[in-house]
Amino acid sequence: MGAQIQGSVAIVTGANRGIGLAFVEELLRRGASKVYAGVRETESVGRVLNDAAVVPVRLDVTDADVVAQCAEQCGDVDIVVNNAGFHARDRLVLCSDPQAAHREMMVNYFGVLNMTRAFAPVLARQGGGAIVNVLSIAGAVPTAFMGGYSPAKAAALFLSTIARAELEPQGTSVTALIVGSVDTRMADHVEGSKEAPADIAAAGLRAMERGERTFDTDARAIRARARYALDPARYERSQAKALQVTTLRTT
C-alpha cells in the first residue's frame, strides 16, 4: 500500500499552476498537514495559494545541488509528487531547436531522477512513504507530434519501475501516472476534450493510496494505450498523419 494522506507531509514540484496546483489543493483537502510547494519562484505560490499549510520552496529540479538543498530543508516529507514538466513543442529529428530535446530530458527525466535520489533517504526515515510520478500517455506509447517530450516521459516511466524495485526494501511505493490530455497551459494547443486538473490529482492520489504501480488517470489515456496495444502499426501510421496535419497548421 502507498502512503496515507491524512496527516502527511508532501512536496509537489511545479506546484504553482495546472496539475501541480491541483495536487497541492487535493492534498490539503484530503487532510495533509503540510505541503511544500516546489517552484522556481516562490512569489508565484502566494498569488494562487493562501494557506498556512502551504510552504513555498525554491526548487529547480534540473539542478541536483538545489534539489539536495531542498531535501535537507524538507526533511519531514513522506509523499513526493514529481509533477514538474516541460514540452518544447518542437520536432525530435526535424527540429527547429536542436537543444529542445535536451531541455525536455533534463526536466522530465533527470528532474524526476534528481528528486528521487535526494528524497529517498528522507522517505526512508519517515518509514517509507510514497513517490508519485506524473507522466503522460506520450511516455507509454510513442507520440510523434510531441517531439522530445515523448521519449523523455518514456524514460521517466522506466525510471519509475527501476526506482520501485530499488526502494521497495525501505517501504517506499512508486506510482507512475499515465495522464491523457489535461486542460492546462501545456496542452492549450491540443484540440478535443480535456480532463480537469483536479480530477487527475484526485485519481492520482487514490492510486497512490492503493499502492498502484502504473495507473491510467483518465479515459483518453486508457483508449490510447488500448489502440496501440491492439495494432501498433496502425497507431504509428495515424501518428504520422497527425504529424503532417499539425505541420500544415503551423506553416
Structural domains in the chain (count): 1
> Exposed, middle or buried: residue 25 (CB in 10 Å: 0-12, 13-18, 19+)?
buried
With bands split at pLDDT 50, 70 and 90, how would you rate the model's confidence at 182? confident
Catalytic pick among 36, 109, 149, 228:
149
CATH code for the domain in which residue 124 is found: 3.40.50.720
The answer to whether residue 2 is domain-embedded is no
Chain CA centroid to CA 22, Å: 12
How much is the pLDDT for 90? 93
Q: Are 13 and 111 in contact (CB under 8 A)?
A: yes
CA atoms within 13 A on the CB side of 165: 4
* pLDDT for res 44: 75
> Does the active-site annotation cover 149?
yes
Give the range among 48-62, 89-103, 146-160, 205-219 with minimum mean pLDDT. Answer: 48-62
Q: Mean of the pLDDT values across residues 120-130?
A: 97
**In a domain? residue 222:** yes
What cell numbers appear for 96 in the block? 527547429
In a domain, 187, yes or no: yes
Over residues 63-68, the mean pLDDT reads 98
Q: Which residues pair with 182 in a beta bridge?
A: 195
Backbone φ/ψ region at 165: left (φ over 0), alpha (ψ -120 to 50), beta: alpha
Confirm whether 219 is domain-assigned: yes
- Pick the range with the lowest mean pLDDT from 35-39, 73-77, 153-157, 238-242: 238-242
- For residue 171, the one-letter residue type is G
Average pLDDT over residues 81-100: 95
Q: What is the pLDDT of residue 69?
A: 97
Mean pLDDT over the full length of the chain: 91
Query: By residue range, what is the domain housing residue 146?
Result: 9-250
Report if residue 3 sits inside a domain: no
What would the mean pLDDT of 205-226 be, rounded to a whole number?
Answer: 94
Lowest mean pLDDT among 8-17, 48-57, 141-150, 230-239: 48-57
DSSP state of 106: I
C-alpha cell at 234: 496502425
Instruction: Judge whether 130 and 173 are in contact, CB under 8 Å.
Output: yes
pLDDT for residue 100:
97
The reply to whether 111 falls in a domain is: yes
CA distances 74 to 55, 164, 209, Å, are 10, 22, 21
Residue 180: pLDDT over 90 = no
